[in-house]
Amino acid sequence: MGQGLASAGSAVAGTDGGGADVADATVGDAKLTAKSVGSKRRGGGASTDGSAGTRNRSSGARARSSRLAAQDGAAKSEHAPKLDGLSRLEAANRLESMPRIEIAPGLDPLETDFVVSDRTRAFRARFYAEIEDREWNDWKWQLRNRIRDLASLERVLVLSDEERAMVASLGDRLPVGITPYYASLMDPTDPSEAIRRTLVPVGAETIESPIELEDPLAEDSDMPVPGLVHRYPDRVLFLVTSFCAVYCRYCTRSRLVGKTGEYHFNHAQYQAAIDYIAATKSIRDVLISGGDPLTMADDRIDWLLSRLRAIPHVEFIRIGSKVPAVLPQRITPELCAILKKYHPFWMSVHFTHPREVTPEVAQACGRLADAGIPLGSQTVLMKGVNDDVPTMKQLMHELLKTRVRPYYIYQCDPIPGSSHFRTPVEKGLEIIEGLRGHTTGYAVPQYVIDAPGGGGKLPLLPNYVVGREGDWLILRNYAGETFRYPDPIEAPKAPSRNGCASSTPSAAKSKSAEHGRTRCS
């Protein structure tokens, strides 16, 4: 068991704290250099076909693929029977139902298997013109080249004085970390732009309130072994890394991510958690989180999932991740092949704003869905980011179109320096009321508060019950109209003279009562 993990290197070696540079990505013991080899096609430049996203394929590769297709088609046409109209339709239906397999001998999947949107191409042309397609589409390259300091931020953004001062003085606070891909979604000149607000620190982070806590959900107090939170009777939260592809300024676990602190994720910690799960038969559901588990190498993910799936009473395994939104290049066919081995397997994906739902993200979520993985979204409600009905409705609609089911809207947790993100609870209720009835029910998530101190998730709903008129319940619909619903109030059972409830006021005395004894049936 230990041997399997010993060769399963983390996707990014080293730590993110203290301004240390991220080391080269590793898979097993083999180190990958930052310089890639392969196609010399340069990134950048707008798409010429007018589509929102195009696959990367060099002209030579396209020509070769066309020749192969032409030769294949010619060979088939010599022996293919002539079809009438109905036979053609039946054949087309059969072909449509067959799994589609792309055969491209000699082609590099990092060049051919990833959609690149027009917005990304324009960003690359401006800031990463020297980067080849196979580098940009390599998730390890994205992690190694994250924007993590003032100089790299100023290269892609026009910083305000406040932003510049905060980045320069972060100290041991949550570090900056932004993948080049995700940086392409930020507005380079507007500090109030939604995604930028969630990634670039501002002075409000230094304002802390007595109600704000490092561990507002008291996760550390519910850990029977390090890194495993057992709060609910039948499920556990398994923290497996402190590394994230990007560092969100509102992160509930800002005490943990981006720095080593007291958390050291290694084989011994994993094994202690797995042993506890195996010994606790009431646990049927394991949520793997961190940090972000999908930043780990394929073989480490495979190792963890295989050990959990081997436990007979574990019925349900989930991963919580923001990677599909911020690093869609990570969702490779190889990763999906690993994940689908461990069904029933679900994924909670973290989305914040409709701007995140790009052609790249649609492809990544499509790959996961095609692997049979149900996807549910989690969204933190934040002031100036997504705290209005039109923005939230658009986000939910875009998610549904990429086969992601809106699951939770969270009230922002009271971590230190988060007051500029938190909205009144009434704002969350207003958004739910603006969704319910105004759009499909599939686009209406639950609005929840994760109760401080370890109280768990508490669902909140607008009040659609107006009151009662006798046996009628008065209800209000999404349009503000009221309706009467029959809901008879059961008459209370009348007590008998011996103190026992009787279904009728004139119930006859039992024989035992006539003899001075009382008995309640």
pLDDT tens per residue across span 337-384: 999 999 999 999 999 999 999 999 999 999 999 999 999 999 999 999
Cis before 344 (ω within 30): yes
| Residues paired with residue 47 on neighbouring β-strands, in sequence order | none
Residue 498 has what pLDDT?
62
Give the list of residues 6+ apart from residue 265 with CB closer than 8 angstroms, or none.
227, 239, 240, 241, 242, 291
Indicate the average pLDDT of the chain: 79
Q: Are residues 124 and 272 in the same domain?
A: no
Please write the tens of the pLDDT for every residue from 122-140: 999 999 999 999 999 999 9
Domain boundary among 421, 438, 460: 460
The residue assigned the tokens 């850990």 is: 223
Structural domain count, the chain: 2
CA angle 231, 234, 235 (to 5 degrees): 60
Q: Are residues 227 and 194 in the same domain?
A: no
Which of 208-217, 273-282, 283-292, 390-399 bottoms out in mean pLDDT, i.e. has the lowest? 208-217
Residue 314 lies in a domain: yes
Confidence of residue 68 (pLDDT cuts 50, 70, 90): very low
Residue 186 has what pLDDT?
97
Q: Are residues 142 and 268 in the same domain?
A: no
235 or 517, greater pLDDT: 235
Q: Are residues 185 and 232 in the same domain?
A: no
Residue 38 has what pLDDT?
34
- Please answer whether residues 411 and 381 qualify as being in contact, where contact means their C-beta atoms are separated by less than 8 angstroms: yes
3-class DSSP state of 134: helix
Residue 511 has what pLDDT?
40
Residue 325 lies in a domain: yes
Confidence of residue 266 (pLDDT cuts 50, 70, 90): confident
Q: How many angstroms separate the CA atoms of 334 and 244, rounded?
A: 20
Confidence of residue 410 (pLDDT cuts 50, 70, 90): very high
Confidence of residue 393 (pLDDT cuts 50, 70, 90): very high
**Chain-centroid distance, C-alpha 403:** 13
Q: How many angstroms separate the CA atoms of 245 and 239, rounded?
A: 16
160: domain range? Answer: 9-20+110-199
Interval 459-469 mean pLDDT: 95
Which of 107-121, 176-190, 219-233, 336-350 bottoms out in mean pLDDT, i.e. has the lowest? 107-121
Residue 259 has what pLDDT?
59
Residue 497 has what pLDDT?
62
pTM of the model: 0.76
Which of 101-110, 268-277, 491-500 bottoms out in mean pLDDT, i.e. has the lowest? 101-110
Q: Are residues 255 and 312 in the same domain?
A: yes
Q: Are residues 189 and 225 in the same domain?
A: no
Residue 152 lies in a domain: yes
Q: How many angstroms separate the CA atoms of 457 and 474, rounded?
A: 29
Residue 90 lies in a domain: no
Residue 22 has what pLDDT?
39
Determine the angle formed by the axes of helices 389-401 and 425-435, rounding to 10 degrees. 50
Residues with catalytic annotation?
231-232, 235, 244, 248, 251, 253, 413, 450, 457
Domain boundary among 139, 166, 199: 199
Domain boundary among 460, 480, 506: 460
